[in-house]
Structure 1
């Protein structure tokens, strides 16, 4: 039997990732795989088009990412499918315990995992929906003033959480090995919001106001400088796609106004 190495810490598993390179949820999973040094194969799913039946057979929702893995000691070696980026990220982290999340067992590990889970829940219920509304407004060509303020308010709530946690919040920050689990969950979305500000589709002051939040700003700056995160971040492609979506929305609005 093969043994684990730094190049492949889980040698007896074969992973295939179904992805679209521009999707932030895919970016979350790709970053996790790369941080954990887990080899994987990639199959492209173009989310700008209706999904083909072969992919709907894998994930009936049509969403990406999806992962199919096989392992000698699981399910008699038959393929297992996982969907939803947070589920996949948790699964991958548990494959290589100790890097992003401690292995279950004992009070210290349980507390750390609980703190990380609490942060992810807070992010998912505050910043994530605010970001969705903000991105939606950009794509529709709508006024972004209110969504920008809502997004900054949500980020402020996360900043307050980090401040309240004090030294205990360090488990949410990266270390000399790189990104934390919490940063992997959030950073792909932050990259896209800040990129929209850089190209003028969102107010430039948004970036300054976010990074001025004491702990949120420190946490964000640390995450967005990580080379593993940036390796799979194609800024020009994102800008082209975002501008094309905005242009399409404006054209549809003009066409509707002429009816």
Structure 2
């Protein structure tokens, strides 16, 4: 995401972005896994999510404490006559519950008659591995017990979720993002990673921040709004492997 639109170049695999005041190598290229194309620019941006730690090893960056987790997106059947009350139109909220398990949900939206209720977490995994579709039995059982206790009579749990979609988190120890310039590269490399299961809903804001950092050398919009990004810097792990860890 960039804050302004620019004409598309003739090469369909690239997107041109303007040069800023810092000198740049003409051979520097930015690869973004999210956009699935290559961007020629003076600043490299790396939003590679679960692959961040591996990428750091290959490119000899400092190792970031980011652990990929295998998780599941679960869709459950709503019991008859309760479909409307679990929609946003009826006032049903997005929510999270941290005890006894970290469970979260959004109103019934994507699939009529179903609601997404998930367990926040999962076992460590290799993002290049296989078998992500399997597993997750513990998560399903935890969510089913939570539903029966806190939403009795509204959601069908006896037959399990209707749909299980494999997903990955890129977890930091404190579950806060990493948004920063990358070490020895000065302001020529920006990293956004470790979103810990929250990247989708934060995507537009994070994309704007990373674009401003890459193009202007600073995140001006959030600075003008009085938002401090210091607690998202990589150096929060210096001498403290848990970073901004909280006791939930």
TM-score when normalising by structure 1: 0.24
CA radius of gyration, larger in: 2
TM-score when normalising by structure 2: 0.25
**Higher-RCO chain (CA-CA 8 Å, sequence separation at least 6):** 2
